[in-house]
Structure formats: structure tokens, C-alpha cells
Amino acid sequence: MTLFETIQKDMYQAMKSGRKQKATVLRGVLAKLNDKRIEKRDELSETEEIKVLQSLVKQRRESIDLYRKGGRTDLVEQESAELEILEQYLPKMMSEEEIRNLVKTVVEETGASSLSDIGKVMPQVMKRGAGRIDGKVAQRIVREFLQ
């Protein structure tokens, strides 16, 4: 079963059981996935579906930060609940230690030695992480290695 089908099934279950917030969030995810599919004019691969989900998760995290700064705890709670729903559909993210090991390997393979080599290292790290790496964490670790 594809990620799209899983989300669709879960949305129907949420609608039947009266969980409006979950149904609404999943309906939004399905809309984004459909938009992307129409834009591509072909079915989405699992990696592409995950990228769409990751962008939605990133939007929620940024919104939470902004609402916190603005003192809007009601909206922070709402966005946090939506974030929790979305994260259920993402693959398990790599731990910081796993990212650190991957960065070390890539730095050794590319021969990177200074911050000017970050452009060589980051694409390789993100590619090998295949959607399971938080870009901000990876960038911080790469900077530590190259300083």
C-alpha cells in the first residue's frame, strides 16, 4: 500500500470516528499530494511523497516558532497537534549519532577540509540520508567537522 493510500484510508477512518482535526489535516495532505501528482503528470514515487510530507512538517515547525514568538499559545497547540499527526507518516529519522557517522564518512571520501567545501559534502549527506535526515541538524554537524 502506498503512502497516499495509507493516508487516504486513515482519513476515512478519522472521518467515521469523528476525529475532525485528523481528518482535516489528512485531507490537506492528500490535496498537496494530488497537486504534486498533477504537476508531475505522473504517479509520485515514495520518495516524492515523503518530500511533500517533509515540507508540510517544516511549515508546521516554522509556524510553531513564529506563534511562540508572538505569544499565541492557542495556535502553537493547534500546529503542534497537526505536526504530531503528520510525523506519523514520515519514516524514522536518523539519530544525531547516525548523522555524525555519515558526515564523517562523506568528509573523508570527498577530502573536504574547510567550510568552503560544504557544497561538496551537504548534497552527498542529504542524498545518502534519503529523506531521513533533518537538514538543519546535518548542516550543523557538517560545519562542526569542517571548522
pLDDT band at 121; cut points 50, 70, 90: confident
Residue 39 has pLDDT above 80, yes or no: yes
* Same domain membership, residue 70 and residue 22: yes
Between 137 and 83, residue with greater pLDDT: 83
What tens digit of pLDDT does each residue of 50-83 get?
A: 889 989 998 999 999 999 999 999 999 999 999 9
* Calpha distance 89→53 (Å, rounded): 8
* Same domain membership, residue 132 and residue 65: no
* Same domain membership, residue 110 and residue 61: no
* Same domain membership, residue 112 and residue 79: no
What tens digit of pLDDT does each residue of 122-133 get?
A: 888 888 887 778
* Same domain membership, residue 139 and residue 75: no
pTM: 0.72
Domain, as residue range, for 108: 96-146
* Same domain membership, residue 114 and residue 79: no
Query: How many structural domains comprise the chain?
Result: 2
Q: Which of 39, 56, 87 is the last residue of a domain?
A: 87
Output the average pLDDT for the chain.
Answer: 88
User: Treating both helix axes as pointing N-terminal to C-terminal, what angle do 118-129 and 135-146 enclose, rounded to 10 degrees?
Assistant: 140
41: alpha, beta or left? (left if phi > 0; alpha if psi -120 to 50): left
* Same domain membership, residue 103 and residue 78: no
* Same domain membership, residue 75 and residue 8: yes
